[in-house]
Amino acid sequence: MNAPAPTSQPTGQRSRKDLECTAAATRYQRDFVADLKRRVVDNGEPFAVAQADTPHEIFHAMDIPLISNQWWSAYISAKQLSTRYFAVLDRLGYPANSCRYCSLGLACTLDNDPATAPWGGLPKPTVLVARLTANAFATVFGQWAQALGTEFFPLEAPGWTHKDPEWFQKSTTEWEALFEPHRIELMVNEMRDLIALLEARTGRKFDDAKFVELMRAINEQERYIHEAAQMIGAARPCPVSIADQMPNTMIPAVASRIRMGGGSRQALSR
């Protein structure tokens, strides 16, 4: 299923920041963007472009700057440039029913106009990474890597042998049985190959201890999210819908993430 493209049209509504934590999160995001631009554009550090559902923790554990394709598309849209880049895709003959949301970064690169592009356009990344969860991803990332003069590293998205309708109730405690050992083994082996590529291309080493600490922090964060979701879901009537909390384009990416348990951490740590 193709995700709807982000819009560049202003809504006329200002976001409310009633909570102190909301303002703090906004400041953090602003600082994050400035630091990311400094490292990638100004300092020319090795970096990666990756889909939102790829193992970002690998890049964090290796201190490699990461630009999410979805984030970059949203950033382009926030700069009121999506209409321009959709026109670029149309002019170059790309089909109108393609996954335009995941193609905005490619369109920005193909437009090749540093005066218009955010940050002057992306420099050459070390690698582009995407899970093949949609037919368009191999084409989009393959052509994008070619346009940037770099490599595309695809990750498989192996299908379920069987699917439990109650998977979301079991994924935190029965994930090996639920997601199947052969599928997990394939993904772990591909992650090892990705780590080897990153070490060879960047000179940076995968930090086992930092990776484990990241996974512990993520598990803690997801427990808080789970508790909040349970509280919201138990309220009658439910005070908020998922559509109020995140754009529709982000729901599949969030829903597709699974927690890595201890067995997977041990298998990935070499």
Q: What is the pLDDT of residues 110-161, one digit of tens each?
A: 999 999 999 999 999 999 999 999 888 999 999 999 999 999 999 999 988 8
Predicted confidence at residue 47, as pLDDT, reads 98
The number of C-alpha atoms within 13 Å of 212 and in the hemisphere containing its C-beta is 9
Residue 225 lies in a domain: yes
Note every long-range contact of 171-177, with CB atoms under 8 Å and residues 24 or more positions apart, other chains counting: 171/258, 171/259, 172/222, 172/226, 172/259, 175/258, 175/259, 175/261, 176/261, 176/263
The pLDDT of 32-38, averaged and rounded, is 96
Q: What's the domain range around 38?
A: 20-268
Residue 13 lies in a domain: no
At 44, list the tokens. Answer: 């020319």
Residue 122 lies in a domain: yes
What values do phi and psi take at 131, rounded to 5? Answer: -85, 140
pLDDT surpassing 90 at residue 97: no
pLDDT surpassing 80 at residue 240: no
Decide: 47 and 126 in contact? Cβ < 8 Å: yes
Burial 162-184 (b: 16+ CB within 10 A, else e): eeeeeeeeebeeebeebbbeebb
Average pLDDT taken over every residue of the chain: 85
Residue 72 lies in a domain: yes
Residue 10 lies in a domain: no
Residue 88 lies in a domain: yes
Residue 4 lies in a domain: no
Torsion, Cα 24 27 28 34, to 10 degrees, reads 180
Predicted confidence at residue 168, as pLDDT, reads 81
Residue 11 lies in a domain: no
Q: Is the peptide bond before 237 cis (omega within 30 degrees of 0)?
A: yes
Q: Three-state DSSP class for 172?
A: coil
Domain count, the chain: 1
pLDDT surpassing 50 at residue 256: no
